[in-house]
A and B are shown apart, each in its own frame.
Chain A
Amino acid sequence: MSRVQIEITLGALLVLVTGALLVVYGLGEEERMERLEREQQARAIEVGAELFELCKDCHGIQGEGVPGLCPPLNDKFFFTERMKEVGWSGSVEDYIVATVSGGRMTSTRPERYAGQGLPAMPGWSEDYGGPLRADQIRNIASFIMNWESTAPDRREEGVLAGPPVGTDITISLPEGNAENGAALATAQGCVACHVATPTGPGWASSASTPAIAERAALRIAQADYTGTATDAGQYLLESIVLPQVYVVEGYLTPMPADFGSKLTAQDAADIIAYMLTIK
């Protein structure tokens, strides 16, 4: 074979192999595009979670809201009923984008969530004088939408399963279930202040302090302790139902004082059991 013939043959072969490679690559395209879309969605949620730091002071660190101030964004009501309440015809995600972008001049539910004054919620889009770009607001919406599948139904939780635990810390509590306690800690909004914000003491151990279980035992022995608890369990119950009795130095923000009427004895036992497992 002459050089021309060899090159024509080899070249034709290469074109065929390249074509075959393209076909094989093309067969995987559908799947690849789906995977990339999922990854893009995942990254949008990650970025949204970071940006939600801007929202946590009002809407809670986990979107559980702050009673009297701002509504929860992570419960069933928000994802199913809220659109009807305000007469919104678009999707929930669009509603979030619109509300975050433009804010709220006045609260739509002033008796329950008054907001922070005027405006009740500031506009966050840079188009309306806020600090965020459109893509950042869409990321926040992606993050909030990620609560939809796990959103608890708070209206049912509002009805207590038994008599409230009250404020007597000497009662004997039933056996606690740490797993239920963990769920309650989120649902009741405890984690909003007790996980990572400087608002309330963190439950987990940190650089200089032991975890809450160990700390509870130490607190009652402290000279400045003003409560009446005699053991760690009682101290924790006291802190939940009578938070104003003893405020640890350095923390001035008072904790809601109505947990005695919002929790059953079983609830309180569960939360305490959960707190005792935190290392």
Chain B
Amino acid sequence: MKTKKFILLLTFIFTGTLLFAVKPEKVRSLSLGLGLGQNSRQDLIFSPFVHHEFSLLNGTINYSIHGRFFQQVKIGIATFDPMLKEPYNYSEDGEVKTAAPHYLLYLDLDYLLGKKIKKTGKTDLTVGGMLGTNTQSLNYVYGRIGYFGYFSAINLGMFGQFGIPTQNGNGVFFKLQLPFVSWLARSPYLVNDDEFIENISSHSGIKTFFAFLKDGKPATWNTVQQVDAEVKYLFSLTSKWGMGISGAYEFTRASQPRLLNSHRTSVNVSATLKF
């Protein structure tokens, strides 16, 4: 019953914010960012070790509307293939094989809705609500065997953006996102229990994904902590086109069923189209 109420609350708030957000007079921008990522992750479900990795596969797509209200839809994707040591060869039944790295895929989808609440001189402050997902698809490889795992949080929280704008949406911006409540689905305590096996027994990727989500639980700040911070500098090339450089940090910590600590940073260069 608590679960149903939680879902209802999320739906109500999200629908409400969407309806509330439909207002005229806007400047829209679409930007594509690509760059470097760095990840440090310790997930005791899969390993007691911290896995560090740099990656070139790190990107974002941002669609923003600046009007009476600020709205933003952001998709972020990053992949990492960490390994404690360098890949090495071993043999099994006379066949030489190579121990492959783990493979981690991070996928974020965020919707922000806010309003500029303070504008003084050269700075402004925008605050609002956020609805987003923090999904981590995990393939931990242990030499001859590998296992799928997942972390998926559907989050509801707040964001704040402090800006030092110049004109036409350019300037320096610092944004902080803080989810407060989540619907959290994670791999079980030891990777692979009966519930997990039942969830994959449909042999359908989509059904499995929703089965994992269904097995999630409501979580608050005391069991899952997430912080997203971003600083970016935007400047115009023409009246329509702009460029930007941004640095982002994502922190995820969850205590159930086993401790997860994940720190991810990225530096992206982006191209922006304003319309």
Q: Do A and B come from one complex?
A: no
| B positions within 8 Å CB-CB of A | none
| A positions within 8 Å CB-CB of B | none
